[in-house]
Amino acid sequence: MSSNDLIEQAKEVLDRNKKEAWTSPSPVYYRHQWLWDTAFIAIGISNYNPQQAARELLSLKRGQWQNGMLPHVIFATRFHDMLKGPLFWQWRKSKLSSKKTVTSAITQPPMVAIAAAKVAKELKGEPKIQFLKQVLPMLESYHRWVYRERNPEGSGLIVVIHPWETGLDNTPAWAELLKQMPRPWWVRFLNKSGLFEIVMRQRKGAKMLDPDERTNNLEIMQAARLILRFRAQAYVNKAIFSSKPVATESLAFNSILIKANSCLIELAEQINYQLPQDLLENFNKTKEALNTLWDEDTKQYYSRDFSTKKLIKTPSITTFLPLFSEGIGKDRAEKLVKNLLDKKKYWTKFPVPTVPLDSPYFNQKRFWQGPVWINTNWMITRGLEHYGYQEEAKQIVEESINLVQNSGFCEYFSPLTGEGLGVKSFSWSAALLIDLLSSDGS
Ligand code: GLC
C-alpha cells in the first residue's frame, strides 16, 4: 500500500471517531475525551486540516478547572461506567473544578503545548493569531497549575500522584508502588473470589478485549483506591501531599513537560504574550533537575519514588523520553541510544517495546508492559532526530508503518510478532502515523 493510501485510511479512522469539536480515542471503548490523546490527534490532523486541529485543542478549554488543571478525561455523558465514570470521580467535590463540564480529577502528560506549537506552525495569517490568542491563556494557566500544585518541594521535578497521570497506566515503576501498597481485606477478597473480574467484564466494551492484554485487576483496584482517597480529600493537592501519598517524580511527565515548556515560550513569542518570570525560572529548574533522575551504574534514567526519594530502578521505555525533552547532553543521549539498539532489550523485530525483553515485567501483550505503542515510537523518533540519529529514527518509522500496514490502526502491537492488540481503529495510532509519514516531521 502506498503512503498516500495509508494516510487516506488514517483520515477515515479519525473522521469516524470524531464526536463534536473533539475526537474520541475509540468510540466503541473509550467514548470520552482524553487529554493527551487530544494532543496527539491534533498533531496528526494539523497536517491536513489545521483549523480542525485548532478546534480539537481549544475544545479542552471547556473542561479546564478553575485552578488551571486540564483533567485527564472530559466525560461525554454524565452517567456512564460506574467504575471509572463521572459517578465514581465526583469532580464537584473540588471547589475549584470545572463549573459545568463533567471531568475526572487528575491530569495526564502535558502534551498540549507541544501540539499547539505544531498546529500554530501549520496555521497561517489571521486564524493563526486568533488561535494563539485563545490557546495561550489556557496553556499558561495549566503550566502555572502544574508548578503551583505539583511541585511541593520546589525542586522543579513535577510529582504525579496517580499511575494514569503518566499516561502509561501500568508502567513498571507504578506497578512496583501499587504492589507495595497495603491490601485491605476487601481488596484481597474481591481479587481472590473473582468478583472484581466479573464486575469488570460487565463494563461496556470490555468483552471485546482480552483481560491478559490489560492492566491486571489488583493494579486497577489499587489505582481506584487512590482516587477514593483523593476524593475524600476534596482533590486538594496540599491535603494529598501532607498525607504521605503514593507518588513519583515521573520521568515521562517531566520529560514531556520540558519540551512543552519550550513550546509554550516559542508560542508566546509569536504574539508578544508575556509569561511570568517565576514560571520561566521554574522551567529552567525542571530542565536541570531532570539530570538527577540519571543512574550512572546502569546508565539510564528512572522515575523517583516521592516518599523514599529513591530511584525506582525498574527499566522501561520512559528512559528514552529525555531525548524527546531535548534538554539533555549529547553524551547521555549517546548512552541512551546504545541501550535502545541492544537486541536483548529494546531493538526487537518491531521496536520499541515499552519494557525491555530482559525485564521480569516483559509481556508482549500486556498494555504498557511490553507492547509497542505508536505514541512512544513517535516521541522517541522525534528525540532521535533532534540528537542526530536520523538512521535509527528512520528504522523506527519504517517498522511503525509496517505494524499498521499489517495489523491495522490498533491500540498497541506485539514487539515480537507485530500482532495488533487492544482496540482497533485507535485514533492516535492513525493521527501519529499521518505525522510520521509527512515529510518534514513536526
Ligand atoms: C488508556 C491509556 C491512556 C490513554 C487512554 C485513552 O488508558 O493508557 O494513555 O490516554 O487509554 O486512549
Within 10 A of 175 (CB to CB), how many other CB atoms are there? 23
pLDDT at 163: 98
**Closest residue by CA, ligand 1 atom 9:** 167
Helix, strand, coil content of the chain in percent (nearest 5): 55, 5, 40
Nearest to 248 by CA among 312, 179, 297, 155: 312
C-alpha cell belonging to residue 200: 469488570
Answer left, alpha or beta for residue 115, where phi above 0 means left and psi between -120 and 50 means alpha: alpha
Inform me whether the pLDDT recorded for 79 exceeds 70. no
C-alpha cell belonging to residue 12: 477515515
pLDDT at 209: 82
Chain mean pLDDT for the chain: 95
CA gap 258, 87 in Å, rounded? 34
Nearest atom (ligand 1) to Cα of 36: 10
pLDDT at 194: 81
- φ, ψ at 10 (rounded to 5°): -65, -40
Q: What share of the chain in percent tops pLDDT 70?
A: 97
Give the pLDDT band (50/70/90) at residue 83.
low
Q: How many CA atoms lie within 13 A of 42 on its CB side?
A: 32
In whole angstroms, what separates CA 215 from the centre of its chain?
16
- The pLDDT tens digits for 359-377 are 999 999 999 999 999 999 9
Q: Is the CB of 37 under 6 A from ligand 1?
A: yes
Give the pLDDT band (50/70/90) at residue 432.
very high
- Give the pLDDT mean for 247-267: 98
Nearest to 212 by CA among 80, 371, 376: 371
C-beta separation of 369 from 215 below 8 A? no
Give the pLDDT band (50/70/90) at residue 439.
low
Cβ neighbourhood burial of 440 (10 Å; 0-12, 13-18, 19+): exposed
Nearest atom (ligand 1) to Cα of 426: 12
CA gap 145, 128 in Å, rounded? 25
pLDDT at 82: 57
Residue listed under C-alpha cell 499498521: 404
Ligand 1: centre distance to CA 271 (Å): 33
Q: Is the CB of 156 under 6 A from ligand 1?
A: no
- The pLDDT tens digits for 333-355 are 999 999 999 999 999 999 999 99
Ligand 1: centre distance to CA 167 (Å): 6
CA gap 104, 331 in Å, rounded? 40
C-beta separation of 208 from 254 below 8 A? no
Rg (C-alpha) for the chain, rounded Å, is: 20
Q: Helix, strand, or coil here: 23?
A: strand
Q: Return the higher-pLDDT residue of 301 and 203.
A: 301
C-alpha cell belonging to residue 32: 470520552
Q: Is the CB of 30 under 6 A from ligand 1?
A: yes
pLDDT at 205: 66
Nearest atom (ligand 1) to Cα of 72: 10
Nearest to 206 by CA among 197, 219, 193, 194: 197
pLDDT at 86: 87
pLDDT at 122: 98
C-beta separation of 105 from 89 below 8 A? yes
* pTM strictly above 0.85: yes
pLDDT at 80: 59
pLDDT at 78: 67
Say which DSSP state 367 is in.
T
**Closest residue by CA, ligand 1 atom 12:** 25
CA gap 62, 73 in Å, rounded? 12
Q: Is the CB of 34 under 6 A from ligand 1?
A: yes
- The pLDDT tens digits for 170-201 are 999 999 999 999 988 888 888 888 877 777 77
- The pLDDT tens digits for 102-158 are 999 999 999 999 999 999 999 999 999 999 999 999 999 999 999 999 999 999 999
Ligand 1: centre distance to CA 392 (Å): 27
Q: How many CA atoms lie within 13 A of 299 on its CB side?
A: 10
Ligand 1: centre distance to CA 385 (Å): 26
Nearest atom (ligand 1) to Cα of 167: 9
Q: Is the CB of 40 under 6 A from ligand 1?
A: no
Q: Which of 164, 220, 427, 428 to mutate to test the pocket of ligand 1 (most atoms within 8 A of CB)?
A: 164
C-alpha cell belonging to residue 441: 516531521
First to last CA, the chain: 24
Q: Return the higher-pLDDT residue of 441 and 402.
A: 402
Q: Helix, strand, or coil here: 2?
A: coil
pLDDT at 292: 98
- The pLDDT tens digits for 235-244 are 999 999 999 9
